[in-house]
Amino acid sequence: MTSYITRNYEALEERRMTDIFEGFKKKKDYLVCIDSDGCAMDTMDIKHISCFGPCLIYIWELEKWKDQVQKRWNEINLYTMSRGINRFKGLEATLREVDTRYKKIDGLEELTTWVNTAEELSNNSLKEYMEGRRNQILQMALEWSERVNRQVEMLPKKAKMPFPGVEKGLQAIHQAADVAIVSSANQQAIIEEWKEYGLLEYTDIVLSQDAGSKSYCIKRLLTYGYEKEQVLMIGDAPGDWEAANSNGILYYPILVKKEMNSWSRILDEGLDKFLIGSYKGTYQKQRIEEFEENLT
Residue 126 CA to residue 115 CA, distance in Å, equals: 10
Least distance CB 222 / Mg ion (angstroms):
21
Q: Which of 236, 238, 241, 295 binds Mg ion (CB under 5 A)?
A: 236
Report if residue 239 touches Mg ion, rule: CB under 5 A: no
Q: Which of 30, 33, 34, 38 binds Mg ion (CB under 5 A)?
A: 38
Q: In this structure, what are the phi and psi dihedrals at residue 134, rounded to the nearest 5 degrees?
A: -110, 115
Specify the residue, 37 or 92, whose C-beta has the smaller distance to Mg ion.
37
Number of residues that bind Mg ion (CB under 5 A): 6
DSSP 287: H
Least distance CB 280 / Mg ion (angstroms):
23
Q: Which of 20, 30, 31, 35 binds Mg ion (CB under 5 A)?
A: 35
Specify the residue, 39 or 231, whose C-beta has the smaller distance to Mg ion.
39
Classify each residue of 68-99 as buried b or exposed e, where b means 16 or more C-beta atoms within 10 Å of its C-beta. ebbebbbebbbbeebbbbbbbebbbbbbeebe
Least distance CB 254 / Mg ion (angstroms):
8
Cα 71 to Cα 54, 112, 146, 212: the distances in Å are 11, 21, 22, 31
Residue 236 CA to residue 39 CA, distance in Å, equals: 5
For residues 185 to 224, the per-residue mask of contacts with Mg ion, x marking binding by CB under 5 A and - elsewhere, is: ----------------------------------------
Least distance CB 135 / Mg ion (angstroms):
31
Is residue 197 within 8 A of residue 36, CB to CB? The reply is no
Q: Which of 20, 32, 33, 37 binds Mg ion (CB under 5 A)?
A: 37
Report if residue 39 touches Mg ion, rule: CB under 5 A: yes
Specify the residue, 105 or 193, whose C-beta has the smaller distance to Mg ion.
193
Of the listed pieces 139-147, 232-240, 260-268, 287-295, which binds Mg ion according to CB under 5 A?
232-240
Specify the residue, 57 or 169, whose C-beta has the smaller distance to Mg ion.
169
Least distance CB 44 / Mg ion (angstroms):
7
- Is 10 strand, coil or helix? helix
For residue 110, the one-letter residue type is: E
Specify the residue, 37 or 204, whose C-beta has the smaller distance to Mg ion.
37
Least distance CB 39 / Mg ion (angstroms):
5
Is residue 264 within 8 A of residue 170, CB to CB? The reply is no
Classify each residue of 107-140 as buried b or exposed e, where b means 16 or more C-beta atoms within 10 Å of its C-beta. eeeebeebbeeeeebeeeebeebeeeeeeebbeb
Is residue 271 within 8 A of residue 173, CB to CB? The reply is yes
Report the interface residues with Mg ion, using CB under 5 A.
Answer: 35, 37-39, 236-237
